[in-house]
Structure 1
């Protein structure tokens, strides 16, 4: 690799030329020096990538980089500044406030007057509040800065609409196995030695990186530190040495919602294996099992309903079993419920029926039920016809009177339409039979 190009010295240590002799972590030593060296983001930096096309025209608008940690967002921003000959200014929303923003904007204005543009890179930009995000708008609009914001959170939810309308969102992907392998091969070339791992252990190390390039190189460095002369680790030894890296999973952010969505849709799609995989992912990452149990109950009523009435019973029983057994034994009860729900017949008929009834209830207003089904505890109410003509169903043939129960002004409505599968096949037969009796007993 070519030596690091000189940059503006950030401290006296670097200015004195001593920095090259200081120890550097492997991710820093292997930091790409050109955009072509960035791995895993070909959709952005390949021949037809969005940034490649921008650079070809020598124009660069404000950008939001959205993606998980260790995918190259900061590196690409720095290299973009080099490629467009802009001054690179970096801030972190975690450590910066209004005063820091004002200072950065003033410095950018001064540079602009001297004919030098500024690329302002803001890490974790979603951490800024609404007012702080709004402060970027004037300097973006008048060209004082080219803003490049980086975020691990969904910009649609975390960034102001006004800011998003002035910037293009580019999505950075987690590094796939091939990209991680390229990093390892590059590291071996720079270090002049192979990773002391057999083939299986090397594949495990790739998986442990979890798509994070920085983490991949940090793990590789730990492996080299742990190895004695001539030692080669197998997969079991590797996991003992590294104590495995925890999965990337933020219980309050995208990782949480992505996985619970995947679990729910796998159950709805009747794939018990995929459902178990996402359940295991969430449990392995430390999700609260009672949160999972509550979602399983929701799946039972939303996606199975009366196609299998036992689904709700089993989902509730799983929650009770976890309450009784605790961790880790109780987790098996939740897994069992997930399998049952995934393999049960599916119906959202009750879910859609309730939604339709809620809409009509809101739109129709406070309509009085028909008088024949109203109680008449007073003489006045009896004189007004309350309760008059009511037929007690148990005293009628087949315990079915066929009377109307909707408000007169509304007329009979149909909300529940059970499909011909699971237990709802039997309910369908009953409803069809009662509809036939209702037609026969309706006054001519």
Structure 2
């Protein structure tokens, strides 16, 4: 079989796209510095930036939404460190394709050239196929770069995850999407859009850069005589777009109004802002994600059912689609707005993260470290541990903090909703702990 996978372009220079290639291909970044929206990874202090500076890549899984640069980053990584680039897609490839890819990589390795194997949609390979990567990754025949839109914790084998670093790509924000449009206009000229329509186009893409450039290309090919306003753009693309009125109330203003109405326990206003965004064409799954965030940030343990309600609403929308599925989002929104509010968990997270960074690598106390081997047991690991279930109250009162670190209080339940019950539990355990000294 011919080598269908390798990139035959000279090292250090990505393939030059044809003049008639899609706009997204013609605007692919030429180096990692040109990748927009992922500076937390590609910048000098990012994980990818550090690997490239060291000239050595480890296997990695790029996890992020569609159109955020996963494929471009993989190609540019190979160029940056002088590796051979090979790519397969789990959607179109089977066992025979994998065997060929590994055989080619082994042949090149014997010739002294290392291979970066990019696997798009890697989560679509089954467990057995994923296991097939392991020996080649372990022996260094390939450096694996997998791309997935699914949570790797659920979609990939634990054995494969243990051999690869998971790097999370951000959904492209407004600034990154604006930068992509600016690159398109440098190449093709000004878009035929009024400023309000341009903002509406960006807001409608839900962070997908490839989709944005596809919509821009459609506009360029149309040969429009006059710039479109938001209503004209919606009619032209046959897609509902977020409405930007004369006061420029946009995507981020409306989502802020929705979030604060929920936080302020005003279900009527919250429903109004939700309706404004849905009627204007906001992506419903964006709203579903924001409702989930509200559930954990502003309600938390005050009503532990808030999060399951929002997750169920998101799944209901995915199952039903629009417009029926939008009713599930309405129900979740009303549930959140009428629920008791608490940011105690949110504040506890911030405080705990701060303490963890400041305290460094303190060891747990020896009594709660598992004596996994005889040697560890002889050294005192696990000595003095009290199994809580063996006590009358099911509570030992042991110390679980690192030696040399005083106990801290991160979580303080609010006196509202279910957290009133949580407060009673904490008070009870504090009383038992005090009695045990």
- Relative to the length of structure 2, the TM-score reads 0.58
Match of 2:234 in 1: 239
Query: Is 1:217 matched with 2:203?
Result: no
Taking the TM superposition and a 5 Å limit, the aligned residue runs for 1:253-272 are 270=265, 272=267
- CA spacing shift, 1:62–1:281, aligned 2, 3 Å: farther
CA deviations over 1:266-319 (Å, ceiling 9, x no partner): 9799464667767976997689xxxxxxxxxxxxxx9779xxxxxxxxxxxxxx
Aligned-pair CA distance for 1:48: 1.2
Match of 1:255 in 2: none
CA deviations over 1:236-269 (Å, ceiling 9, x no partner): 101111112799xxxxxxxxxxxxxxx99x9799
Match of 1:207 in 2: 203
- CA spacing shift, 1:277–1:109, aligned 2, 3 Å: farther
Match of 2:86 in 1: 89
Distance in 2 between the 1:340 and 1:134 partners?
43
CA deviations over 1:305-346 (Å, ceiling 9, x no partner): 9xxxxxxxxxxxxxxxxxxxxx96997798478537632558
Taking the TM superposition and a 5 Å limit, the aligned residue runs for 1:413-428 are none
Query: Is 1:189 matched with 2:186?
Result: yes
Distance in 2 between the 1:62 and 1:208 partners?
34
Taking the TM superposition and a 5 Å limit, the aligned residue runs for 1:125-140 are 125-140=122-137
Match of 1:339 in 2: 334
Match of 1:178 in 2: 175
CA deviations over 1:179-212 (Å, ceiling 9, x no partner): 1111111111111x21111110010011122111
Runs of 4+ in structure 1 displaced over 6 angstroms? 266-269, 275-287, 302-305, 327-334, 419-422
- CA spacing shift, 1:330–1:99, aligned 2, 3 Å: closer
Partner of 1:40, secondary structure, is coil
Query: Is 1:168 matched with 2:165?
Result: yes
Match of 1:388 in 2: none
- CA spacing shift, 1:245–1:33, aligned 2, 3 Å: farther
Taking the TM superposition and a 5 Å limit, the aligned residue runs for 1:30-429 are 30-191=27-188, 193-229=189-225, 231-244=226-239, 270=265, 272=267, 335=330, 338-339=333-334, 342-343=337-338
Could you tell me whether the CA contact under 8 Å between 1:276 and 1:335 is conserved in 2? no
Distance in 1 between the 2:329 and 2:29 partners?
46
Partner of 2:21, secondary structure, is coil
CA RMSD of aligned residues (A): 4.2
Taking the TM superposition and a 5 Å limit, the aligned residue runs for 1:7-26 are 8=8, 20=18, 23-26=20-23
Q: How many residues align?
A: 292
Partner of 1:103, secondary structure, is helix
Distance in 2 between the 1:73 and 1:334 partners?
30
Match of 2:361 in 1: none
Aligned-pair CA distance for 1:50: 1.0
- CA spacing shift, 1:186–1:335, aligned 2, 3 Å: closer
Aligned-pair CA distance for 1:100: 1.1
CA deviations over 1:101-120 (Å, ceiling 9, x no partner): 11111111000000011000
Q: Unaligned stretches of 5+ in structure 1?
A: 1-6, 248-262, 288-301, 306-326, 348-409, 411-418, 426-444
- CA spacing shift, 1:246–1:303, aligned 2, 3 Å: farther
Is the radius of gyration larger for structure 1 or structure 2? 1
CA deviations over 1:377-411 (Å, ceiling 9, x no partner): xxxxxxxxxxxxxxxxxxxxxxxxxxxxxxxxx9x
Partner of 2:61, secondary structure, is strand
CA deviations over 1:126-162 (Å, ceiling 9, x no partner): 1111111111111000000000000000001111111
- Relative to the length of structure 1, the TM-score reads 0.57
Could you tell me whether the CA contact under 8 Å between 2:55 and 2:81 is conserved in 1? yes
